[in-house]
Structures are given as C-alpha cells and as structure tokens.
Chains A and B, each alone.
Chain A
Amino acid sequence: MTTSRMAISAAWLALIIPGPAAAQLPDGLDEYIEQVRAEWNVVGIAVAVVKDDSVIYARGFGLRHLNRPDPVDERTLFAIGSNTKAFTAAGIGILVDEGRLGWDDRVVDHLPWFELNDPWVTSHITVRDLLSHRSGLGRRGDANWYATDFSREEVVRRIRHLEPNASFRSRAGYQNTMFLAAGLVTEAVAGVSWDEFVERRLFEPLGMVRSNTTTLDLEGDDNVATPHHTIDGSVRPIAYRNLDNVAPAGSINSSVAEMTSWMRMVLAEGIWDGAKVLSDSVVREMHTPNIVYPFPPSYRALFPSTHFSMYGLGWGLRDYLGRMLASHTGGIDGMLSQVTLVPEEEVGIVVLTNTTNGGAYNAVTFRILDDMLGGEERDWNATFLELNQRQEEAAATRERQRFEARVAGTQPSLGLDGYVGSYGEAMYGRIEVRMEEGRLVLGRHQLVADLEHWHYDTFVAHWRDPVLSSGPGNLVTFSLDEEGITHRVTVENVADFTRIPAPQQGGEP
C-alpha cells in the first residue's frame, strides 16, 4: 500500500528545448522512438505532435499487449492518468465562461458539505486552490480511492480527517482528492455528472469520440492498449485500474490521435474548428502560475535553462530554453504519459505508453522538442536512462538498508491468532487481519497482503496486487496494550489503525 506505488504520478514534470527556429521533426524519429521503446522495455508507445494547428506526426510503436500481435497505432486507447486534470480545470473554465462559477469562489458555496480538517481552511478554500495543489494536505489520502469501494463523495468526505502537512497555500503538495472535489463542484454547478459534462462539453465538440472517462467504457473497443508492469524483473500485462471514484483527477482514456484535438484547441486559446470551446481568458488562466512547484535536484542539473517551476490550473508550468512549457505527466498502474505544450511556438507533444518503466516519455518528448525549438542535440535517451538507473539504484539501496536493519532471531510476542482482528482509522476506515491457511493476512477493500514476520511484532506486507507487489512492501507493526492485547497496528506510510472491539455477544440489536 505504499503511496508512491498506488497513485497517479505526481511527476507532471515534463520538458522541452530551443535554438534556431527549426520547427522540424527530428530525422529518424521513427527509429529513435523504436529504440527508446526497446531500451526502456516498454511494450507500446504512441506519439503525436502538433504544430501551428496541424498534426504533423501521429504514430504508434510496439504492441498493445505483450503476448499478442496487435500493434499500437495512433488510434490505440491508453489511460492518460493525471493528464485528466487539465480537462477538469477546463471543465470548470467552461462554467466560469458561462458565469456560473468563479475561480475564486469558495468551495463550500457550491459543496456545502465539503469539509477539511481546519474549519478556517474549510470556509476559505477556493476552487482555484483545489486545482493548484496548494491545500496544504500534501501528497496523501490516495489510499482512500486506490482499490477501494468508496464512492467519489465518500473519498472527499473522508479527507476531513487528514491533518495538513503544510500551512495552507504555503507550498505545493500534489493532491488528487482536491481535483476530485473540483469534479464534484462541476457536478453541483452543472447538474450532470463530471463524466457527462466532460463528454458533452469537451470530447464531443473536439470530436474525441472514442475518448472516455472510465475503464468500463473500454469494453467493446477493438483498439485498446493493455497496461504492463515490471514484476520480479520481467514486464507483464496487468489489469486496468478502475478510477471511477477519483475520475476527475485521472480517469480519462484516450488516443494520441484524439489528444491532438485537445492540444490544438488549447494552443489555439480555446478555438476548435472555428468554434469556441473555451474562452482565451480561461486558457490563459490555466497557464498562469498559482503556486511555486518543486523542481527536483536531479532535474535541476539536467535542465540548466529552467529557472521557474510553478503550477497553474491542471497544468505544470516552467521555463525551458527561454520558452514557457505547459505540461503534465500521467501515471497509473501500467500506464505512463506526458502532454507538453509550448504555447508561444504553437507546439504540442503527447506521448502515451502502456508500461510503467519511467522515463521513456521524457526521452521522446525532449528529443522532439529539441528539434522543434532548435536546441542543441542532446542524447536524452541516454540521459534519462542514466537518471532512471540512479533512481533504481537508490531504491535498491534503501531496500537493502532496510533489510540490514532487520533484527535477526526475534519472534512475535503472541501466537499469530493474537494479531487477528479488525482495526480502524478515522479517514482510511477498516483493515482486517485474519488467518488464511495458518498464515496472517491483511485485507482492505480490494487489496490483500500476506504478512511475513520481520522482527518482534513487525511484519512485512507482500501485496497480492501485481503493481503493489513490485514495491518494497509496507512494514506492519502491532502494538500490545498493558493486557498484552494488540490494540494498534501501524501500516508504514499509511496510518495507525486501532483495534475495533468485536461486537458484544447477544445477537442482533
């Protein structure tokens, strides 16, 4: 249940480059992308580029499914993950254009039941705050929606229990639940579901006829990419993660062909095929900074021409070789993607992939940007491969250190039966610890982990979910009260859960 594994990628950080205004695609682009695909061990990639309101490139590479012959093409549907956030912001923008909502309206004026941990923040937080990662809640609360049975409203209601980890609006903290809340604001104001609103007001006018907002709508489409994840060292197909309960933060599925329409509309400041989808002021507002967004040190060295990194409304903003980039990444089980716009050059690039081997989208995006903007040629593929390798080594080191810190020769205080029970936490709800075939198991909603003894009263969770299983596995530590009863279990990186007493004997109330 490690947060980093279960969430839509926070790394919206995408990139670009200039030099003489060449505005040309790189020579040998097909070969380069194919090389990137192979070297990153990515099963399928689709790429499209728009320039001056025209699609100048749209192609697929590799396979939709590792074990099947169907090729990826420009029409193949992928999950675009957090690139959905810009659609949610645009949806709010449509309501702003219609005068039904203001960016700076208080959320409680539209969702009277909306509540955060701090009553002052509850009464002051605005729609703009929801769309700009400045709630002060940080990258937390994702376990409310990931593989749970909670509804959208329930996910938002539960966030009131989350204590801020930064003073309100003092710094950026990636917050999926706030985008979900923005989707619920859309529903409250528009009177239709967020999904229907996005379909009617964005997909339909843009001719994005096969794009949709739920994995359930992928049934019956004959050109859909299957997600893949590296498990025990090899790339394997996995199931789609349904995101219905957090949809406005990341549920859209689309193809690069249809995403070109979206990019062209945004680059044209809201105009598509002669008709106005968004006003130019809404587009500019989405691309106006609301908060400073952290730029990781590893990127700082790679991108010396980037001085500013900020977040607008559903878009990350930064300077790169003297231009502004508006970009976002998306990541969900088995799918990684990136959308990058250079508004002043009318350039847009979308890369969709069906394998969570990070970085391939960057290698493709930056190579294209270099040429489009006339920057020096750099070997982005090698650069990102090296960065990725360093990150993987760092993760392996952390894992090794953790293993070395394991105390050998200890035993659990109690027999395994002693750990069994229901445990609860205000925001995340219940988890169950039970015995299966003589072994301890932890269960919560759709997720199950086998608990292996680590040391003392700590166990390590081996998640059965293929994506979570590839992570380091949370440590699960039980605490005994003065009577020797397990009254609390701490799930690493999630929360402390307290034992829920078994119901009293004596039948139904």
Chain B
Amino acid sequence: MDNTITRRRRHELLIGAVLLAALAVLPLPIHDVYTRNLIIITLLFAGLSQAWNILGGYCGQISLGHSLYFGVGAYVSTLLFVGGHIPPPLGMIAGGLVAASMALLVGWPCFRLSGHYYAIATVVVQEIGYLLFLNWDWVGGASGVYVPFRGESWMNLQFRTAKLPYHYVVLGFAALTWLVAWWIEGSRWGFSWRAVKDDVVAARSLGVRIFQSKMIAAAISGFFTGIGGAIFAQYVGYIDPDSILSGQLAILIALPAVLGGVGTLWGPFIGAAVLIPLRELSSSYLGSSGSGLDLMLYGALIMGVALLRPQGLGSLFKRGDSHARTA
C-alpha cells in the first residue's frame, strides 16, 4: 500500500543511505588529527543521543542519568578486556546487556512515577552510580582503569595512531542506532510508545501496556548507550568515573536530541552536529574545565531553541505541518 507513512519512511531510508555513504568518505581527504577526532566524537554522541531518544524522545521518559548506562557499558567491556582477555567487540555486547539490565532495574521502581519524577529519579540513580564507582577499588576507584595496548587489530578494537578505523566503528554505531529508531517508528512498539508519551490514559484505554512499553524502551536505550560507552573506552584508552559517569555527561547525551528535536529520527544527529563541534570550539577558545563558559553557551543555545523552535532544529528542514505545532 502506498501512502504518506510508507512513502515518508522509504524516503528517510534513502536519505539515511546517502548520508551514510557521504560520512564514509568524509574523513578520507582530512588528515588533520584534531578534525578527525572531532568528527568521531560527534558521531559517537549522535549515536548516544539517538539511543537516549529511543526512551526520552519516542516514549517520553526523560532520563537525565544516561551516563550511568554509558559508564557501566564502558566498565564491563574494559574489565572483561583487561582481566579476562575478552575481545571488546564481544565485551561491548556484554556491556550493553549489563547496561540494559541496569536500565530495567532503574525502571522497575521509577516507571511507576510519572512525568518529572522519573527524570529526578534518574539524576539520583546516576549520582549513586558515580559515587559507587568512585569508591569501588576493585574497578580502579577514583584513579580509573587504563586499557592496555595489546596490538593493533579489529578484534582488540585498538589502533595505534590511525583514527580512520575508529571513524568507521562510531559511524557503524550511529547508523545502527538510527536504523533501530527508524524501525521502531514504523512498528507497533513505536506507536505504543508515542501514545504513552502523548497521553497515558488514552493509550491505556486502547490496550497499550504502559509499564511494559517503558521497560522495553529503557532496555533498548540502555543497551545502545552501554555499547557507546564501550566504544568510547577503547577509543580513549582510559576510563574513570569523572569522564564516563558524570552528571554533565548525562546532560551531554540528552542535549543533542533536545536541541535537534525530541522524538524525531534526525533530531539527535542534527543536534550532535551543531552541539559537539560548538562544545569543542568553545572549550579550546574559552578554556574548558573550571571556567564554565562552555556550559553557559549550551544554556544559551537551549534557551534559544526553546523560545524560537520548541520542536528542535530538525523542524527547520520540514515542510508543512510542523510549523503549527506551537498552537
């Protein structure tokens, strides 16, 4: 059947494929390490924010604690690699699964809370996770864990100086999260979740299982966030609670989606493409940690979007109906 929904979805898939091809060749003419690194981090956060969007955007459950799943994924994969010699491509799956379990564990009591209470609970849980890891000596405590170099290979997900392989790893990660979001949009789950987000009472009356919907969304979201954490750990080669479990990171995971358009397929990617380079530039020109000027910049950006484009930057590219959303 040919209609607006299936046509739009096919159209999106085509744009996705073209973009994927473009991003695959993008780093080839770029040899400057700084720029390549910037692109890698941008793609990583595009994928992370898309993972966040699956729960926060489509299902409307705003999490401000996603760095917990990111950190848990990174720790599990890294510790399996360091202690058990388990290759990171497998370790990251384990990390994703543990992160998904954590998301379910947080969801079990917290999804019974409505609206803002869930968001507040996620902040608290993330903070508890941060403190636990900070004081847990077996996982390195505050001094963190170094990922030992065991030779360049895809199996180890380690490459001495080349950035290019990492580019394809994060590109694959971002593409995968996009594809999952695309699939969800067209599936029964996607419809149920958006209904939960718009009106719980109406959704319930139509036979949508509210709690189950939230739990599935949380598990998928947590899984991919954990995978992202594991990739980050291999890329950076060192993890500690401050770099992978902080509240600021949790905000940074959510922000691209908020900026680009919550609950939309392209929002997280557009938001990451704007926010991450801006963050890098502001921290190199204004000085990063301590001064807080870069944080003020985010704040201004969010306020600007909230006032001028509450549907997110992604809506600038849309024709027609989206303009009337504020009515």
Partners in one complex: no
